[in-house]
Amino acid sequence: DGATPLFKASHKGHTAVIGELLKYRPSLGILP
């Protein structure tokens, strides 16, 4: 499935973005 690596890369980037938001804007309280 050629879409799997793309999905994994996209998910990895997405979690990285969330990590940055939590790192720089903890006051937002973005938690599950």
List pLDDT tens digits, range 1-32. 677 877 787 777 778 887 877 777 666 655 55
Per-residue model confidence (pLDDT) at position 21: 75
Residue 6 lies in a domain: yes
Residue 5 lies in a domain: yes
DSSP 8-state secondary structure symbol assigned to residue 31: -
Residue 13 lies in a domain: yes
In degrees rounded to 5, what are phi and psi of residue 11?
Answer: -65, -40
Residue 19 lies in a domain: yes
Per-residue model confidence (pLDDT) at position 20: 79
Would you say 20 and 12 are in contact if contact means Cβ atoms under 8 Å apart?
no
Assessment of whether the complete model's pTM goes beyond 0.75: no
Residue with tokens 């998910």: 11
Tokens representing 8?
């994994």
Residue 30 lies in a domain: no
Question: The domain containing residue 12 runs over which residues?
Answer: 1-25
